[in-house]
Amino acid sequence: MEIYPAIDVRAGRVVRASRTDPARETPYHPDPIAVAESFAAAGARWVHVVDLERVLGTGEQDALVAALVKRLPIPVQVGGGLWTAEAVGTMRDCGVQRILLGARAIADEAALEELTELFASDSLGVALDMRDGRVWSRDWAGSSAWTPEALAKRAAAAGIGILAVTDLAREGRLEGAAVAEAAALARESGMEVIVSGGVDSLEDLVRIREAGLGGAIVGRALFERRFTVEEALACCSPSS
């Protein structure tokens, strides 16, 4: 099981902001690179980055993402607002090691075919936000017509092996991750599923590990000192 310390960046700062209510924002740190380097120094094997400017359609922070990749000795996973070949190509050119495609790219057969032809499958994953059992997307009104299971199976059939799934009802609330739902997606799709949203304790990480899931994206719990990166890695190691 992998731990993905998460950095959401907006206006060049590390923040916490709800995707469903972006006006609610909590600033955490003025220097994303320093935060990412601290995660790497603590032993993290990946860093997960979300460019909230791209997610919210207010711009992009590609230069910051490129700087992060260049400075870090560990790989970077980026998600949020990435569903076109142009956007994915930009992330590839920035040196991002894993790019999480948005739901819209998976639902669009032509877009999915183009993306899997242009980019190596081991550099791609999928990021799905779900709410009330349906897919949710800020910039795509048709998202609620899809279930996470349907899009996960479509992605798997296209050769994509990684799925990061966020339960928006739990995102940023520190009330526990949606482990059962994520495990069901893993069983039905055959994908390696990474849980995002709501992770609040080391016990929660143990539940994710014991469910056989691929990893956990952790943000607020780290910034609010519920546990450290070192503690998270220790409790999720095979020997623990």
- Residue 80 near residue 54, CB atoms below 8 Å: yes
Residue 221 tokens read as 């719990």
Question: Token match 């907006």: residue?
Answer: 10
* Tokens of residue 30, six digits: 């003025």
**Does residue 51 have an active-site annotation?**
no
Identify which of 214, 237, 218, 216 has the alpha carbon closest to the alpha carbon of residue 226. Answer: 218
Place of tokens 């296209």: 158
Q: Which residue has the tokens 């980019």?
A: 119
- Judge whether 62 counts as a catalytic residue: no
Domains and CATH numbers, the chain: 2-235 (3.20.20.70)
Instruction: State the catalytic residue, choosing from 51, 129, 167, 200.
Output: 129
Q: What is the rounded CA–CA span in Å between residue 96 and residue 51?
A: 13
Query: How far apart are the C-alpha atoms of 186 and 201, rounded to whole Å?
Result: 22
Task: Name residue 201's amino acid.
Answer: S
Determine which one of 8, 51, 167, 200 is catalytic. 8
In order along its 240 residues, the chain shows pLDDT tens digits of 999 999 999 999 999 876 666 667 889 999 999 999 999 999 999 999 999 999 888 899 999 999 999 999 999 999 999 999 999 999 999 999 999 999 999 999 999 999 999 999 999 999 999 988 899 987 787 788 999 999 999 999 999 999 999 988 777 667 789 999 999 999 999 999 999 988 999 999 999 999 999 999 999 999 999 999 999 999 987 765
